[in-house]
Amino acid sequence: MNHIAFDVRESSAEIEEFLQSRAIEIERRSGHTFGARGQSHLSLYIRDPDGNVVELRSYAG
């Protein structure tokens, strides 16, 4: 498994603010990718405490 992805309802700005307020490092950003619900606005990639890659995908913009 490469990573696990979550579809989040918040905007990309809200997600980034939330992560930064908790000192969670964003490893990569990917804009306008195609996913299960069509074209997304932004995907942010972080790591969980065990080192697994987690994608937070926002369709909200």
pLDDT exceeds cutoff 90 at 54: yes
What's the token pair of residue 13? Answer: 């700005």
**How many domains is the chain partitioned into structurally?**
1
Q: Cα separations (Å) of 23 from 19, 27, 31?
A: 6, 12, 22
Residue 26 belongs to domain with CATH number: 3.10.180.10
**Domain around 16:** 4-58
Mean of the per-residue pLDDT values of the chain = 86
Highest mean pLDDT among 5-9, 42-46, 49-53, 55-59 belongs to 49-53
Q: What is the pLDDT of residues 33-45, one digit of tens each?
A: 766 666 777 889 9
pLDDT for the residue numbered 24: 96
